[in-house]
Amino acid sequence: MRLALGLLAVLAAAAASQATDKQHSYRNFKLIRINPENDATLAYLKSLYEEESPYTLDFWQPPSHVGGVVDLTVAPSDASSLIRDLSARGIHYIVAIHDLQKAIESERSVASWAHPPKGFGYERYNSLDEIYNELKRLKRERPSLITLIDIGQTHENRTMLVVKIGGGQNLDEDAPSIWMDAGIHAREWIAPATAMFIVRELVEGYETDPKLQAMLDHVPFYILPVMNPDGYEHSRTMDRMWRKNRRPAECHNKEWHTVCCRGVDLNRNFDWYWAGNDAPHISASGSSSDTCHDTYHGPAAFSEPESIAVRDFLEAYPPKAFISLHSYSQMWLIPFGHRRRSYPPDYSSALRPLAIKATKALEAVHGTKYQVGTGADLMYEASGGSHDWAKGALKVPFSYLIELRPRNTLFGNGFLLPEREIIPVGNETWAAIRVVADEVFSQFAQPFLRGKAGKKPEPLTLHKLGHRVTSTEQTTAASRSETTVVETEEPATVPTTTTTRTTPTPKTTTTEAATVEPATLSTVSCEDYGSYCRLWKVFNLCDRRAVQKLCALTCNPQCRV
């Protein structure tokens, strides 16, 4: 009898372990879309999001303000009670997806299902191995253009791989550069796919586009296509809707049972008002201390190997632009997102004008419209975000978080963007990022080149952190300087949005005037032959007849290079 019971226990344990190893099915899960029309609805949705809820819910777009779309999924067992509850409260909703599992299956193209392709494809959602193999292939083909840098290991010992494109030989560690990461949130698959599209644009464009070549020679891109490799693989193999990293579970007692949950939201783990700390007057907002919550901020700022690796790399090689790719909702987000109406000093003079220029270029490609503003103003407050940290602590001049397609309108499938949209999203996003890159080149490459003109070029090294490229020497993180945060009533100009939210209309007065940095966008009058003219002027070549002819505007002494 005892043996039989023992055997039963073993079998039960085996069954349980099998059950946890099985891929999560979302059969008949629903995606409910609600436009909260009043404060009562908003308060009710917030209580479901922030407090213990009787339903199994996953908020894809959390509640923030009246008029801000809320997307949530509900398990089939809870769907009818939730819907009854919403109806009883007079809350209008639509069921945007009736069977989430079906939507997950139709995210992949028919061809992918019928004949699962082997190897990497730019028009597909690829595995981590496929992505890394493609980066290695590109490196083999163009060893002088591409450098692969191992910046750290994850909880599950996966490598975090940065691809550096450009730079040339006469670059030093202070040279201007552009950082782009994607996939900090595991389930946002369009982000790594877009990062890889941009890798290809840069690599191929280097050979075919002289302007791009000139830019990349002096302003390299550092791209981390999958910032959360463990989460990404978990989302591909076990649970499509996984968001966090895979930090091992921490258990705690809750009433009469023990709860163990894995993972930290890496975009709440950066040291920018982490957990709402550092500012006692601000309530901890937009992140959770509950290990089971999707926005769990971790036990401390930079507690996670992934955020540590990114921080250490960026502190060693601080870029001039920081871009983090997410999905979804078609928003170009500017710091700061930890608190409403909080802006860096150059918000209106530099960050926002460039964001508007970039999103106009994006719209010109396929007509896709983006909203521009801070995450806190347009969506919800969230502390510990990487793009806020990049701007506020690291002082990166241009820092943005891009929420890619789709918009959360009636028919969008949220995180489940069909594979056929990967290339269009890549094309339009690249057009926008090119605008940022051009601006970085014209603002920051010229002083760098000037400084180097009289000096012997230094060979390129990547030794600061002992990344796998050269040595293994480890240096301590650079100390961070005091931060300037301008908390104004409003930014200097009205954010370009089509949102229906009811924030007060921005006035045109601001506390910003006194703190505006000289960084303004370059004058168009110098654009006659693109970046070559600016370079030639920097190198004092305007006395050459050919340069004068090609660069009449740039060579004009009035022209600000």
> Whole-angstrom Cα distance, residue 522 to residue 534?
11
**Minimum gap (Å) between residue 428 Cβ and ligand 0X9:** 18
**Minimum gap (Å) between residue 383 Cβ and ligand 0X9:** 8
- Report the residue from 30, 185, 187, 407 that binds ligand 0X9 according to the rule CB under 6 A: 185
**Minimum gap (Å) between residue 498 Cβ and Zn ion:** 21
Find the length of the chain: 561
Of 526, 332, 362, 361, the closest CA to residue 442 belongs to: 526
> Whole-angstrom Cα distance, residue 221 to residue 321?
10
**Minimum gap (Å) between residue 188 Cβ and Zn ion:** 5
**Minimum gap (Å) between residue 336 Cβ and ligand 0X9:** 8
Our CB check for ligand 0X9 shows the closer of 166 and 385 to be 385
Q: Which helix (H) or strand (E) holds 260?
A: strand 257-261
- Report the residue from 318, 385, 392, 397 that binds ligand 0X9 according to the rule CB under 6 A: 385
Amino acid identity of residue 181, one-letter, is D
Query: How far apart, in Å, are the Cα atoms of 171 and each of 177, 317, 440, 541?
Result: 10, 12, 16, 22
> Whole-angstrom Cα distance, residue 335 to residue 399?
7
| Residue 333 in contact with ligand 0X9, rule: CB under 6 A | yes
DSSP code string of 317-361: S--SEEEEEEESS-EEEES--SSTT-B-TTIIIIIHHHHHHHHHH
| Residue 48 in contact with ligand 0X9, rule: CB under 6 A | no
Q: Which stretch binds ligand 0X9 (CB under 6 A): 138-146, 379-387, 524-532, 551-559?
A: 379-387
Interface mask toward ligand 0X9 for 268-287; x: CB under 6 A? ------------------x-
Q: Which stretch binds ligand 0X9 (CB under 6 A): 48-56, 113-121, 378-386, 497-505?
A: 378-386
| Residue 381 in contact with ligand 0X9, rule: CB under 6 A | yes
| Residue 382 in contact with ligand 0X9, rule: CB under 6 A | yes
Active site residue 403: yes
Q: Are the beta carbons of 378 and 407 closer than 8 angstroms?
A: no
Query: Which of the following is catalytic: 403, 419, 428, 439?
Result: 403
> Which residues are 48's β-sheet partners?
none
> Whole-angstrom Cα distance, residue 116 to residue 112?
5
Query: How far apart, in Å, are the Cα atoms of 240 and each of 102, 231, 383?
Result: 12, 10, 25
- Give residues 435-474 in contact with ligand 0X9 (rule: CB under 6 A): none
- Report the residue from 41, 73, 147, 267 that binds ligand 0X9 according to the rule CB under 6 A: 267
Our CB check for ligand 0X9 shows the closer of 30 and 339 to be 339
| Contact footprint for ligand 0X9 (CB under 6 A) | 185, 188, 267, 286, 326, 333, 337, 375-376, 379-382, 385, 401, 403
